[in-house]
Structure 1
Amino acid sequence: MSTPPKLDAIDRRIIDILQKDASLSIQKVGEMVGLSQNACWRRIKTMEDEGVLKARVAVFDAEKLGYPLTVFAILRVREHSADWYKKFVSQIVSRPEVVEFYRMSGDVDYMAKLVVRDVRHYDEIYKEIVKIGPLLDVSASFAMEDIKNTTAVPVEES
């Protein structure tokens, strides 16, 4: 693991503000943290250059866009070769419905978070996933309620 960059209280405040609303102008963010527009821009640019700030995106409501069902799929696989891994990962991440995908430790090999129209839509994706093979198991859990869903990372003093 890499050492996190040194962030002071102003950097952390900038992060907190941008995580809540990345559409704010740099001038407005600077005003909120007590910096000039140029000083604020330099801090944000440094965070981008260091990879602390990965992207500035808009977050949309999946349900209102026709994808009301969130599915967590757990995959256990037979194969672990580099060639198989490359093919497997490329096919999974190419699916737009897969919004998060992780290689896991323990008994689970991979976990995918998908947004889908309905159970039938998930089943179509499931059938495509099992064609990649060889898989030991694919099991899915359907989210019943979205209680907390955020892209924000904690910004407390470390």
Structure 2
Amino acid sequence: MKLDPAQRHILTLLQKDSTLSTQALADKVGMSPTPCWRRVREMEEAGVIRGYVALVDRHKVGLGTCVWVRVKLKQHSADVLDRFERVVKACEQVVECYELLGETDCLLKLYLPNLEALSVFMHEFLLKIPEIDVTHSAVALREIKNETALPL
């Protein structure tokens, strides 16, 4: 879907505050509510807007440790990757997972309560996945930037 300037403006505003009423959104974009609502609905139906969520402060819910885990798989086949993906998708500690080019096959992002939880995660979950050959972990010392809004 090709976005026009008004749709981009609407998306920029909704990424900052998805609780804006149609009237408030329309006022900020400079259009009447009905056409504004229609544009939002079009973007929802086209899948541009996938949904609306609450952004939770991970520190306030006890998830102060951010860990990146690089994973190298034993083999490179569709079956191996499919099995690995199914297991990782079912794991709630993994908040992001990317398949990569290069020496690392996949990159996982985890939010955990502490380093002890990382040890449990590694021993009770990750290292039990038979498709994994090698893992390398990096613990974030502090978060410098973490944005959810896309640059439109």
TM band (smaller chain): over 0.9
Alignment partner of 1:55: what SS? Answer: coil
Q: 2:120 aligns with which of 112, 124, 136?
A: 124
> Between Structure 1 and Structure 2, how many residues are aligned?
151
2:138 maps to 1:141 = yes
Q: 1:54 aligns with which of 45, 50, 53?
A: 50
**CA positional deviation for 1:135:** 2.0
Unaligned runs of 5+ residues in structure 2 are none
Structure-2 residue corresponding to 1:75: 71
* Distance in 1, Cα, partners of 2:121 & 2:22: 41
* Distance in 1, Cα, partners of 2:8 & 2:120: 43
**CA positional deviation for 1:91:** 1.1
**CA positional deviation for 1:58:** 1.0
Q: Which amino acid aligns with 2:86?
A: S
Does the 8 Å CA contact 2:100/2:106 hold for their aligned counterparts?
yes
RMSD across aligned positions (CA): 1.2
Q: TM-score, normalized by length of structure 1? A: 0.90
Unaligned runs of 5+ residues in structure 1 are none
Structure-1 residue corresponding to 2:80: 84
Alignment partner of 1:100: what SS? Answer: strand
Q: TM-score, normalized by length of structure 2? A: 0.94
Q: Which amino acid aligns with 1:45?
A: R
Structure-2 residue corresponding to 1:13: 9
* Distance in 2, Cα, partners of 1:50 & 1:116: 34
Indicate the larger mover: 17-26 or 49-58. 49-58
Alignment partner of 1:95: what SS? Answer: coil
> Identity of counterpart residues, as a percentage?
34
Does the 8 Å CA contact 2:72/2:104 hold for their aligned counterparts?
yes
**CA positional deviation for 1:40:** 0.9
2:123 maps to 1:154 = no
**CA positional deviation for 1:110:** 0.2
Give the 5 Å matches for 1:91-102: 91-102=87-98
* Distance in 2, Cα, partners of 1:142 & 1:100: 15
